[in-house]
Amino acid sequence: MVKLVPAIQWHMPGVDGAALDARLLPLLAAIDGGANLAAAVAQVGLSYRHGWGLLHAQAALLGAPLVDMQRGKGVSLTAAGKQLLQLTAGAEQRLLRKAAAIEIAPLPPAAAQPSRLVMHASHDLALIELRERIAPAFGLELNLEFKGSLEALASFAAGHADLAGFHIPLGAHPGALAPYQRWLKPRQHRLIGFIEREQGLMLPPGNPAKVRDLRDLAAKRLRVINRQRGSGTRLLFDQLLQESDIDGQSLRGYSDEEFTHLAVAATVAAGKADAGFGVKAAALQHGLDFKSLEWERYLLACRSEAADQAAVRLLRQAIASRPMLQVLQGLPGYAAANTGSLLGFARAFALGRAHAKKKA
């Protein structure tokens, strides 16, 4: 039996009154719990741009700001934001005391069709489009939660997700693949090709500091904004620093972390950092300059016994579809490569680009 419990949904007065977005309260709760905006939107499964837009749209609907952002102090709830959370919690408690839960008998196993997948994955712009636009057109619900690559693989290995999304560098970097391979077993897991993408330095428009490579970050004492520990982008950045004989801890701002590529780009665009490391598409979306440093392959891991199940087949079809390829064509620094294909481990972890021509 499936148990259903009542929940509060707020509407504006009137028959046609607009409803508050269902994602607003979880986002406010994450902020109230101490998360910065980048971490809060990641917890809710939104991009930084969509999360910030959601807060603005709902504040306009209510006629009152819900969050307050101050330089150096992060983000916090306004009195209106706190009141909305508190009143909702009280209303839900009263509702649960007075309204009984109901139970629904599920369909017989033979009639149930798998159409939902839980994916824990490293943040990626194309993956957001896959979840929000492409997968639903194939009758697939993609329950996507963003984590660092290693955290996603660990969660997958522990049985908390059907798939894990992670990315590996395509250049020769000794030992760079080992952290990922420790979570994967060729007899138990299969790998699905997703995309290849370009990583590098995000810099203010016009590159005023004349940054040529990583060594300039240290030599010119520039402020950097970093990705969180355990993310594939952080691992790659640290690897490149080491190969350039740079002690990451010596960089200004090295310990300052954000949880998405868009959040890193937004930090540089706001003048709060002189450089960040991330994907080209996020940099250009914020009008930044970009210095390419590495291409990488983004892969999805699933369990061997699930590779031929209907839901995974739907996912592979969605990834290889024309609408998905059109999404990739619109993202600078992205390219389709073995998109939707099941790959052997040797092929998946092979160095070098899977296609000859780099995408502009």
DSSP 194: E
Q: Is the pTM of this model over 0.85?
A: no
Assess whether pLDDT exceeds 90 at residue 166: yes
Q: What confidence score (pLDDT) does residue 119 get?
A: 98
If asked whether residues 200 and 310 sit together in one domain, one would say: yes
Q: Are residues 118 and 146 in the same domain?
A: yes
Looking at the fold, whether 224 and 89 belong to one and the same domain comes out as no
Place of tokens 């939707």: 340
Using CB atoms within 10 A of its CB, is residue 334 exposed (0-12), middle (13-18) or buried (19+)? buried
What is the C-alpha to C-alpha distance for residues 86 and 91, in angstroms, rounded to an integer? 9
Of the candidate ranges 59-73, 88-102, 164-178, the one whose mean pLDDT is the lowest: 88-102
The domain that holds 20 is classified in CATH as 1.10.10.10
Task: List the one residue out of 327, 315, 308, 1 whose CA is nearest residue 143.
Answer: 315
Cβ burial of 79 (10 Å; 0-12, 13-18, 19+) is: exposed
Residue of 158 and 39 predicted with greater confidence: 158
Alpha-carbon gap, residue 142 to 129, rounded angstroms:
11
29 assigned to some structural domain: yes
Q: Is residue 109 part of a domain?
A: no
Residue 113: per-residue pLDDT: 54
| Calpha distance 261→276 (Å, rounded) | 9
* Domain limit, last residue, from 59, 84, 103: 103
Alpha-carbon distance of 45 to 131, in angstroms, equals 10
pLDDT at 355 over 70: no
Based on the fold, state whether residues 98 and 118 are members of the same structural domain: no
Residue 16 banded pLDDT, cuts 50, 70, 90: low
State whether residue 272 is helix, strand or coil. Answer: coil
Rounded Cα gap, residues 65 and 80, in angstroms: 7
Percent of the chain with pLDDT over 90: 68
Query: Do 89 and 144 belong together in one domain?
Result: no
279-283 own/partner pairs: CB under 8 Å, 24+ apart: 279/124, 279/125, 279/197, 279/198, 279/199, 279/333, 279/334, 280/197, 280/198, 280/199, 280/200, 280/332, 280/333, 281/125, 281/197, 281/331, 281/332, 281/333, 281/334, 282/125, 282/202, 283/200, 283/202, 283/203
User: Binning pLDDT at 50, 70 and 90, where does residue 159 land?
Assistant: very high
- Whole-angstrom distance, CA of residue 254 vs CA of residue 247: 10
- Same domain, yes or no: 41 and 122: no
Task: Please tell me whether residues 184 and 332 are part of one structural domain.
Answer: yes
- Measured in residues, the chain has a length of 360
Q: Which of 162, 119, 131, 168 is nearest to 349 (CA)?
A: 168
Q: Which of 215, 75, 232, 213 is nearest to 148 (CA)?
A: 232
Q: In this structure, are 87 and 192 located in the same domain?
A: no
Q: Cβ distance 335 to 355 under 8 Å?
A: yes
Lookup result for tokens 């996020």: 282
Q: What pLDDT does 359 receive? A: 38
Q: 303-317, pLDDT tens digit by residue?
A: 999 999 999 999 999
Q: What is the DSSP string of 282-336?
A: HHHHTT-EEEEEEEEEEEEEEEGGGTTSHHHHHHHHHHTSHHHHHHHHTSTTEE-
Tokens of residue 14, six digits? 């009137």
More confident residue, 3 or 226: 226
Domain that residue 174 falls in: 114-360
| Residue 1: pLDDT over 80 | no
Within-domain flag for 315: yes
CATH number at residue 208: 3.40.190.290
The per-residue pLDDT for 112 is 47
Looking at 103, 127, 154, which one is the last position of a domain? 103
Per-residue pLDDT reduced to its tens digit, 261-294:
999 999 999 999 999 999 999 999 999 999 999 9
Tell me, yes or no, whether 92 lies in a domain. Answer: yes
| Unique residue bearing structure tokens 């150096």 | 72
Query: How is residue 199 written in tokens?
Result: 């990583």
pLDDT-based confidence at 82, cuts 50/70/90?
Answer: very high
Please tell me the total count of domains within the chain: 2
Residue carrying the six token digits 């209510």: 62
**Sign (positive/negative) of CA torsion 285, 24, 114, 302?**
positive
123 vs 72, higher pLDDT: 123
Same domain, 65 and 184: no
Mean pLDDT throughout 49-60?
A: 87
Helix or strand holding residue 143 (H, E):
strand 141-146
Q: Which of 12-16, 32-36, 144-148, 331-335 has the lowest mean pLDDT?
A: 12-16
Residues 83, 219, single domain; the answer is no
Q: What is the pLDDT of residue 103?
A: 77
CB environment 271-298: b (16+ within 10 A), e (fewer): eebbbbbbbbbbbbbbebbbbebbbbbb
In tens, the pLDDT along 244-260 reads: 999 999 999 999 999 99
Do 306 and 200 form a contact (C-beta atoms < 8 A)? no
pLDDT at 195: 97
pLDDT number for residue 109: 56
Residue 108 covered by a domain: no
Do residues 21 and 155 share a domain? no
Whole-number pLDDT of residue 48: 83
